Structure 1
Amino acid sequence: MKVMIAEDERLARDELMYLLSQEDDVEILACADNGTELLELVRLQRPHVVFLDIHMPGLNGVETAERLQRQGSAPYIVFATAYEQFALDAFRLEAVDYVLKPYEEERLRKTLQRIRARLSETPAWPASAAGALPPPLPAEAAQLHAKPPAAGVKPKLLIEDGSRMLVIDPAAIAYAVKEEKRTLIHMADGQVHTARQTLQELELRFGPYAFFRSHRSHLVNVDCIEEIEPWFNGAYNLILKDARHSRIPLSRGAAKELMHRLQGM
């Protein structure tokens, strides 16, 4: 297991290096003092996992993790910090774990066990490609590529609601809509939640469910469609069987594909 540490505090870095060095299967690569340096080291040395401090000069840990995702980089992320309030960011970025300083040996062992389990399921960096990244993937595709859901398991959706994380069953969603910089999740029972995910990210996550991109700004649950209503210029409205009997647009380009899908063609 090739491990890289991004930590600007020398004592904290030395402590983590010592604890990791006690594990027979851990190889510690070069350490980084900031996020910018880490991005370059990941590109060159291709670690399996990065222990990433939240508070660093320049790019902080959250910003660095977001850039790793956008670049399609492969390492798993473990956030390391002295502050508990960043746990929501760890969930949002799908970090393998979130450990608090000062480090506890038993807690760190559990983190390493979790990483070993992930590595046993997902191939590591190809040995023949050392020193070069694979072709970049969109951030959401990179996440799914690195950590595919277990066979037969339908994913849930995590929504931040203040200090809480709501677990939502996608089957209970009527549609999602992009409004300015927000994504609104409209539930079949009439509730509305705000999500950080883009429509493209939701579309990828909802793969096992029957969702359809009816319009560039709308993603609809096909099982919630009650009626297709002609509108104008070849476009339509979809009338949903949710609590509000919502009407959402169906573009001309998407109409034919949806008709075929509904008829099983």
Structure 2
Amino acid sequence: MRVLIVDDEKLARDRLRELLSDIGGYTVIGEAMNGAEAVEKASELNPDVLLMDIRMPGMDGLEAAMHLMGMEHPPSVIFTTAYDQHALDAFDVNAVDYLLKPIRKDRLANALTKARKLTMRQIQEIHHARKDMPSRTHISVHLRGNIRLVPVPDIAYFLADSKYVVVRTATEEHLIEDSLVNLEKEFGERFLRIHRNALVATQFIKGIEKSPVGTWQVALRGVEKKLDVSRRHTAAVRRWARNRPAVAAAG
């Protein structure tokens, strides 16, 4: 089996390498120091299994596992963690295996033997089990079999388009399969609903203005396209603009 080791601590990665060498039958094809790097390397190297720490700076192991589920052939994931037993009660240990640090060789061998692929439902259950779980740091986009991670702070808006959602940054545009309802629930503090089909990142809003036909539009920094504000959302958008001195309302 081809193994990718993911941990922000070098000593922990070295320990896993030694244990895998002692067990035999496994090839370490790479290492990663955080969740984002794990997703990129997994997409490139196609490992059979990831040994992945849960708590890492930037993107943690749980978010990385959610992104990995989008691969055509997602790897198995075995979480490694320094959580105590009480904290582990929050996880469905029948659905996903985990190794409690310091990791023992017999425990690792057993976990690898029964390593199995996670389902999206299992990942989501684990994700929701953590009360302090932050929203995703990235949105995963699938391009020709590979995963492209788009940092959430780079996203100017989400725009519903048929069964897809357009993800727009200042320089790129991608399609994802998601719903605005879910995106609004997850990122509502960063985005403003201006239309039933549009969520706009508040940090990108330059101002609101009247269109030639008298409706309101949102002008964005670094993005030429202006987005329509629906009548239903006009009052809320103008109220938001009035409470933000940096945003100008013209006309």
Q: TM range, normalised to the smaller chain?
A: 0.3 to 0.5
Q: Which has the higher strand share?
A: 2
Give the TM-score taking structure 1 as reference length: 0.45
Give the TM-score taking structure 2 as reference length: 0.47
